[in-house]
Every structure is written in C-alpha cells, then in structure tokens.
Amino acid sequence: GESVGLHLPTLSVQEGDNSIINCAYSNSASDYFIWYKQESGKGPQFIIDIRSNMDKRQGQRVTVLLNKTVKHLSLQIAATQPGDSAVYFCAEKSQGGKLIFGQGTELSVKP
Amino acid sequence: EPEVTQTPSHQVTQMGQEVILRCVPISNHLYFYWYRQILGQKVEFLVSFYNNEISEKSEIFDDQFSVERPDGSNFTLKIRSTKLEDSAMYFCASSPFLGTGEQFFGPGTRLTVL
C-alpha cells in the first residue's frame, strides 16, 4: 500500500546544533520525495526534494539523504536556528502528481 | 514572488450548510490540488485537477465535494452539505509540472463546522 511515515513525532534541539528528521516510506516504486516545513497557521512550504536516482542532495543548511534499500529518507538541518521551529513533513509524489504526506515531526529549537 | 492565495482564512458554518472555499493558484501553473489537514494530523490529498477536469480523487472526496475552475484564475472547492468531520484546514496547491517539482501551497482555509 501507499504510506509515508515519520519515526519521531517531536524533536527538541539546542540552537546551533544539527537536527536530523527521519522518514520511512513503503512504496518502493516511488521516485520523487519532498520535504516540507509547516509553521503554525501556515501552509506547507517546500524545503528540498530528491529523486530516486540520487542518494543525497544539499541545499542551504539542509541535506536530504535517501536510502532506497531500506526505504528511508532523512532531513538534516545544520546549525539549527529558532526560525527552524516548525513541523516537518516528508512527502512522496505519486505518478499522478498527488503528494502522500507522512505524519510530521515537530522540531523545537531551544535558545 | 508569486504565491497561491486562499479565501476566506476562516469559515464557520452550520452542519448541513454548503461552503465554497476559494483559491487563486499561481498564474502560469497548470495542475491544481486540494488537500486537507485535520487538527494535529497529516496533510491528506483530496483531489487533483488539470485541463478543466478531475485527474484523481481520494476516498475522502465523495459526492458531497466538487471542484471548479470557473474562470482563468480561481479554483474552488465546494462542500454541499457539511458534516462535523469536515472541520479541518483546507489547502490549495498548484504546480507547473506533473512530474518532479514542488507544489506550491496556499495559506489554507480553516473550516469549522458546528
């Protein structure tokens, strides 16, 4: 079946530390994944994406890692800042274009 | 920077009433989506729309729901007879492509059914 899930519902880190948010997916045929950030009262905001022909992709302070063997995604945020506090969702894009979201991890950054 | 807009930001209605949620996607986008998020839960796909017709819909999107693109800019979601369990945030999204590439989300409409 189709499902994308997250391992931890909450993550608390100190400002300046690195954060790692994990995600598992079940559809081995999936070929495109996105991480979204959702701040309170707002819509999901794109962070970074990765195609299945890649293992790693880096953006500004963020890195996404894809392990197709174990169907696992992770989002790494370097030097986490208070503005990074939000709920983070991984999502899998289906052939038809719809996004299948995971449950979400709430990241809390302590000053 | 272009963005998806949604109105109203908050809609309160009585059970059994009809509501129309409005969205203005980004102007050169071709693919449109509605998602909903019940409080504290994940975002769930409702429907996708392309070339003036529904491309795909979820089990949630039953006969009470409909979508329309009445003109070149608006994209609406209608719920004919609202139920208590329809209370949620409803997000509109649009994208220029079907394949890879992000979907751009609006700020959402919070629907409260009393």
Nearest alpha carbon to residue A40 among B39, B36, B104: B39
Q: Is it the case that residue A106 has pLDDT exceeding 90?
A: yes
Please tell me whether residue A72 adopts helix, strand or coil conformation. Answer: strand
Question: Along the 114 residues of chain B, how does pLDDT read in single tens digits?
Answer: 889 999 999 999 999 999 999 999 999 899 999 999 998 888 999 999 999 999 999 999 999 999 999 887 899 999 999 999 999 999 999 998 877 678 999 999 999 999
Strands B10-13 and B109-113 come out as: parallel
Nearest alpha carbon to residue A6 among A102, A72, A110: A102
Residue holding tokens 């394949």?
A: B99
Question: What pLDDT is attached to residue B100?
Answer: 67
Q: Is it the case that residue A89 has pLDDT exceeding 90?
A: yes
A103 touches chain B (CB under 8 A): yes
Q: Using one digit for the tens of pLDDT, what is the confidence trace for A34-87?
A: 999 999 888 999 999 999 999 999 999 999 999 999 999 999 999 999 999 999
Question: What pLDDT is attached to residue B71?
Answer: 87
**A43:B105 CB<8 A:** yes
Question: What pLDDT is attached to residue B21?
Answer: 98
B30 touches chain A (CB under 8 A): no
Q: Is it the case that residue A8 has pLDDT exceeding 60?
A: no
Taking each continuous run of H as one helix and of E as one strand, the counts in chain B are 0, 11
Nearest alpha carbon to residue B57 among B77, B28, B37: B77
**A101:B107 CB<8 A:** no
**B100:A49 CB<8 A:** yes
Query: How many whole angstroms separate alpha carbon B6 and alpha carbon B23?
Result: 4
Residue holding tokens 């989300």?
A: B105
Nearest alpha carbon to residue B7 among B65, B83, B112, B90: B90
B53 touches chain A (CB under 8 A): no
**A97:B45 CB<8 A:** no
Question: What pLDDT is attached to residue A1?
Answer: 42
